[in-house]
Amino acid sequence: MQKRSPLIYPSILSGDFGHLSDEATRIEQAGADAIHIDIMDGHFVPNLTLGPKAVAAINRSTNLFLDVHIMIYNPYDFVEALVASGADRITFHFEATEDVEETIGFIHKCGIQAGVAFRPETSFEMVPKYLHKCDLILLMTVNPGFGGQAFMPEVLEKVKLAREYCQRHKLETKIQVDGGINAETGKECVKAGADVLVSGDFLFKKAGDLAKGIAVLKGV
Ligand code: DX5
Ligand code: ZN
C-alpha cells in the first residue's frame, strides 16, 4: 500500500465538557483537520453525550469542519437539527436504521456530506454498496459507546478491503477509523489504507500536548 499523510480529527468526547467552546478553539489552534463530535442516545450505545445545542456551541467557536458521528437509532430524524447546528458531515450507523439509502439521500439534500459507520463485527460485505453513495465510511476500531478502549486489530482487514475496493472502482470515498487510535495503531490503519484518523484518549490524555499528538499522528 502507498503511504499517505492522514487527516487527524480529535474527538472532543475526550475534551473538557465544562469548556466545550475553549476545547474547540484549542483543537483548531493545535492544527487539527476537523473536530469529531460523538452523539450517543443511550439505546444504540449504552452512553449519552451531546446534542444539537452542543454542536451549535462548538460551531460558534471554530471554523473547523465539524464531523458529527451519531450513534443513535432513527438517525434520519435528527439530520435537520444537526445541519442547522452547523454539522459539515453526518456519519450515522449502518446498524441503526433500515433506511440507510434514504438517510444518505436526505443528508445530501440538506447540503452536507454523508458518512456511514460500521461496528467492528459488521461484515465487510455490507460496505461496498455504500462506498458508491456516501462521502466517507467509518470502520469502527472499537465497539462504539466510550472513549479510551483498546483498538481491535481484526478491523484492519476491512480497512484493506475497503481501500482495495475504492482503488479498483476509482472512488474518492474517504476511509475513517475511530477507536483506540494512537501512534502505533494509527500507523497500522494508514498502512492498511485509512485516510482519516479519529483520536480521543491518545490526543487529550496520553500525548501530553494536543499539537504534538496531532503531529505524531500526521507522521505515522
Ligand atoms: C467511541 C467514539 C470515539 C471515541 C474515540 O464510540 O466514536 O470517537 O471518542 O476515542 P478513543 O480515541 O479514546 O478510543
Ligand atoms: Zn466517534
Ligand 2 centroid vs 71 CA: distance in angstroms? 8
Tell me what the mean pLDDT of segment 39-47 comes to.
Answer: 98
3-state secondary structure of 176: strand
Each residue of 127-164: pLDDT tens digit? 999 999 999 999 999 999 999 999 999 999 999 999 99
Query: 157 is written with which cell numbers?
Result: 482487514
At 6 the pLDDT is: 98
Share of the chain above pLDDT 90, in %: 98
Ligand 1 site: residues with CB under 6 angstroms? 11, 13-14, 36, 38, 69, 142, 144-145, 147-149, 178-181, 198-202
Question: What are the extents of the domains in the chain?
Answer: 7-218
110 Cα: distance to centroid of ligand 1 (angstroms):
26
At 160, which amino acid appears?
Answer: K
Distance (Å, rounded) from C-alpha 147 to C-alpha 179? 7
pLDDT for the residue numbered 4 = 72
* Confidence tier at 2 by pLDDT (50, 70, 90): low
From the CA atom positions of the chain, what is the Rg in Å?
16
70 contacts: CB under 8 Å, gap ≥ 6? 39, 78, 82, 90, 91, 92, 93
pTM as predicted: 0.98
Which architecture characterizes domain 7-218 according to CATH? Alpha-Beta Barrel (3.20)
- The pLDDT of residue 110 is above 70: yes
Type of residue numbered 184 = E
Alpha-carbon separation of residue 72 from 40, 117, 170, 177 (angstroms): 6, 11, 31, 18
